[in-house]
Amino acid sequence: MLVIGRKPGQYIVINNSITIKVVKTDKGEIRLAVNAPEDIKVLRGEIYTKTASD
């Protein structure tokens, strides 16, 4: 697993098609903006875990 520190406004790019940007930090919580092609599913971890176990 790759761990990268980012500040609000900074982002990472995955495979030239997915951008993940830190848009806000508030009281220890982080908000991320994900820009990905429509054919790529983007799920929150708890949703992914639930669907994977069903």
Write out pLDDT tens, residues 4-15: 999 999 999 999
Range of the domain at 39: 11-53
State how many domains the chain has: 1
* 23 lies in some domain: yes
15: left (phi over 0), alpha (psi -120 to 50) or beta: left
* 2 lies in some domain: no
Write out pLDDT tens, residues 23-34: 987 787 889 999
Q: What angle do CA 14, 51, 16 make, to 5 degrees?
A: 10
* 20 lies in some domain: yes
* 5 lies in some domain: no
* 44 lies in some domain: yes
Q: Does the pTM exceed 0.85?
A: no
